[in-house]
Structure 1
Amino acid sequence: MHRYKQIEYKAGITIEVIKCIPKGCREGQRKTTPEEIAESNMRQAARKLARKINANFKPGDWHVVLMYRRDGRPTPEQAQKYIKKLMDGLRDLYKKNGFVLKYVHATEYKNKAIHHHLVINNVNDGKRTTVEYIRELWKGDGKGNKQFIPLYDDGEYKRLAEYLIKETEKTFRDKNSPFKQRYSCSRNLINPLPDSRIRKVKTHWKLEPKPRPGYYIDQDSIYNGTDKLGYPYQRYVMIKLNPTDEDWEPCTGFPPDEGD
């Protein structure tokens, strides 16, 4: 009889599944290098951010890139004030029109022109949408172009999260940066929590997992290998077929087994 730990994160229309050897069944421990630890930390940061975006944003929402004119680029300290002013203005407009603002914000300026990334929920008050709100507020003080990139339809924003973490890694490591975090979020975001259990099986987990009914597996997400300590490890993400708006509500507890 084999025992392994199964961890699941329900985030929007995605379910991230992790299978690993529980601590009580481990023998020995492999030493990790500083490079392996740094790489692992970045992967973990990207996964945590992906869960947060998956749980709180959906197709129709926006990834916005806010830039400054070449002749008016601010210092990081000034840019921090500008983005705060924008977020305060957006919060007021959302509240005035009966909406709640949700966002993730990150700023990058090391080795490139300073700019901001904003993942934000889209609203429509009948006259204006989030796009018009941002265009109205992001002007003056050297402010430049705005790129509005719609969140893609599959509801799995792993690549966006990986991009934001990689994009801001150098700025995050700058001890003099006024932005002390990799990214900041509105306080009202759902933070997906792990649900775990120990499973007992006659054989090891299948290397080709099967999706739960009503879901499909993102084939690019499947990883079969070892964790940073050298123990067997599997990870993959299931995405719901034919989702509805209600699927972005928080969920707890395990659905039926996916058929391992």
Structure 2
Amino acid sequence: MAYMKKRWVSHDKSIFIEDKYHSLRAMPKNPLVRERRRPRAGGSTTETQEKINLRHRTEKLTRLIMDNFKPGDWWASFTLSEKVPVERFKAEYAKMIRNLRTFYKKHGQDLKYIAVHENITGKGRLHGHIILPFLPGVPFPQMKAEMEKAWGLGDCHFKPYEARAMDAARLAAYMTKEDVLTTKLNAKAQAVKAGLDVKKLDAEIKEIKSKRSRICPSKNLIRTRAVTQQITRHDTYSDKIKAPKGYHVVKELSYNGYTIDGYPYQHAVYERDG
């Protein structure tokens, strides 16, 4: 056995992601390569597993954004002019989606979206965000006016979505609160290792979790699946990440590391040039 390769390609072929890794099922025969395995440090902690789950959730959302949205689409925020009960917020959100669906259909396009509700538990300022497709022939002032009419509880703010790999990754991390929560979980792990009191960090982690976003994707989104295969013609893979012709490596998102079981692992993100 050699190694496993999992490849995901976005719907428009502009981005693809490759994971290469060894496992108990796919280990190299060469004993020198086998030594690359890092000893497992006494099992998985709750925080370690939570970081892994959070990373997987964020990467899944990143791929969903990459699959469905393109340059020129809209990232919109909808806020409240005054405080309202959560149930009222949810009801007005559902009404907004119905109104937007009708508006998009009127212009010959189905509405697809990924929305996120912030502070839905009641802690912090209740608001939301949504990524929407660009409508050809609909100027920005009309789009903004239609969104505000559809929402009805406050202001709407728009930003263009650039659709690069890093844009999708940042958007997904923001929606899942990955960066903020991972920073606190890392700080707690270091404090535990140093024998320090972690009560304050536990309280901060609990507060972040209480404000975590509720992600609401439409049902008509494209969901491209990754293809996994076992590579047997080579004993292992190269640590060097090299992009194929016509693509470049997204360095900020690509890395070599280890699985939770200590096996070598490589995550590479490639983006089309231009």
Could you tell me the TM-score, scaled by structure 2's length? 0.76
SS in structure 2 at match of 1:187: coil
SS in structure 2 at match of 1:68: coil
Aligned to 2:273: 241
Among all aligned residue pairs of Structure 1 and Structure 2, give the percentage whose two residues are the same amino acid. 25
Aligned to 1:37: 49
CA distances 1:166-212 after superposition (whole Å, capped 9, x unpaired): 089879965xx9x9x84111111111211111113545322221111
Change (3 A) 1:171 1:214: farther
CA distances 1:48-76 after superposition (whole Å, capped 9, x unpaired): 0000000000110011111112xx22122
Aligned to 2:231: 199
Partners in 1 of 2:163 and 2:132 — Cα distance? 15
Partners in 1 of 2:139 and 2:164 — Cα distance? 28
- Opposite residue 247 of structure 2, the aligned amino acid is Y
**Greater share of residues in helix:** 2
Partners in 2 of 1:45 and 1:182 — Cα distance? 13
Aligned to 2:95: 85
Q: After the TM superposition, which residues 46-125 of structure 1 pair with which residues of structure 2 at under 5 Å, given as runs?
A: 46-69=58-81, 72-109=82-119, 111-125=123-137
- Opposite residue 69 of structure 2, the aligned amino acid is F
SS in structure 1 at match of 2:239: coil
- Opposite residue 236 of structure 2, the aligned amino acid is H
CA distances 1:234-257 after superposition (whole Å, capped 9, x unpaired): 101100124xxxxxxxxxxxxxxx
Aligned to 1:10: 9
Could you tell me the TM-score, scaled by structure 1's length? 0.80
CA distances 1:67-101 after superposition (whole Å, capped 9, x unpaired): 112xx221221111111110010001111221110
SS in structure 2 at match of 1:9: strand
Pair 1:132-2:131 in alignment: no
CA distances 1:16-45 after superposition (whole Å, capped 9, x unpaired): 110111441369976211111111111001
Partners in 2 of 1:20 and 1:55 — Cα distance? 24
Consecutive unaligned residues of structure 2, counting only runs of 5 or more, are 28-36, 182-205
Pair 1:161-2:172 in alignment: yes
Conserved 8 A contact 1:58-1:155: no
SS in structure 2 at match of 1:25: coil
Over alpha carbons, which structure has the higher Rg?
2
Partners in 1 of 2:207 and 2:72 — Cα distance? 29
Partners in 1 of 2:208 and 2:223 — Cα distance? 21
- Opposite residue 149 of structure 2, the aligned amino acid is E
SS in structure 2 at match of 1:132: helix
- Opposite residue 79 of structure 1, the aligned amino acid is F
